[in-house]
Amino acid sequence: MVEFKDIKGFVFDLDGVIADTSVYHSKAWHQLADELGVQWSEDLANNLKGVSRMDSLELILKTGGKENDYTQAEKEHYATKKNTNYLELLKGMDSSAILPGISDFLKSLEENNYKLSLASASKNSPLVLKQLGLDQYFSEKVDPSTLKHGKPDPEIFARGAEVLNLKPEECIGIEDAKVGVESINSAGETSVGIGDKNILSEADINFEDTSELTLENIKNAMEVGAAND
Ligand code: B16
Ligand code: MG
């Protein structure tokens, strides 16, 4: 594992890492799955994390064996419908949706002169950051509409390092989704997975929730990782 002293930047996922918005995404997809007659499950909800809007719809249709039942125009209609529901759920969201420990962690990164960027698959991320009052931390964002491939492809996290003018090995990527951890790893960055260790087993470092996300904990985990190399 890379040494902690060589880390210069942090590349953040948004939904499920910075904010509690993955529950809103899930709720909006669940509503749509019911409408389409596709059985909802916890596995499906987990598999949708970090996946782009259109790819999420495709995955839902495939799960229900309905992948050939709709035209492109109909799929676009349903994707837009999910987004309208999601935006409705976001109304009224404020800084109380920031996940535990995140505000302090961002402050400590700024105080210690780390560079920060955002690698969210969500086209709504600028709006969400504004609503949370955190946009001042993320002047550098990867625009997901400019990407050729979604997570687990390395493209989004590789770009997250590029926008900071850093090499991938100088960056730590933070994710709550399995596909996100895979994207960080294949981009050549150190991965921190937030959530279920069994699902995020490929992460270099795992924390159960965001309250464990501190520079001290990351430093310790990297030292343990290096000792085990
Ligand atoms: P939107 P992240 C991802 O954001 C979400 O995890 C995923 O559920 C959502 O479908 C995707 O963004 C696209 O979001 O429809 O708002 O463009 O986890 O990469 O921050
Ligand atoms: Mg996420």
Q: Is the pLDDT of residue 228 over 80?
A: no
Mean pLDDT, residues 150-167 taken together: 98
Residues with CB under 6 A from ligand 1: 13-16, 22, 25, 48-53, 56, 83, 120-124, 177
Helix pair 22-36, 72-90: axis angle to 10 deg:
140
Q: What is the pLDDT of residue 184?
A: 98
Q: How far is CA 144 from CA 1, 34, 124, in A?
A: 29, 28, 10
Q: Which of 14, 86, 122 to mutate to test the pocket of ligand 1 (most atoms within 8 A of CB)?
A: 122
Mean pLDDT, residues 82-90 taken together: 97
DSSP secondary structure letter of residue 12 = E
225 pLDDT band, cuts 50/70/90, is confident
Active site residues: 13, 15
Q: What is the pLDDT of residue 89?
A: 94
Q: Mind listing the pLDDT tens digit for each residue in 31-80?
A: 999 999 999 999 999 999 999 999 999 999 999 999 999 999 999 999 99
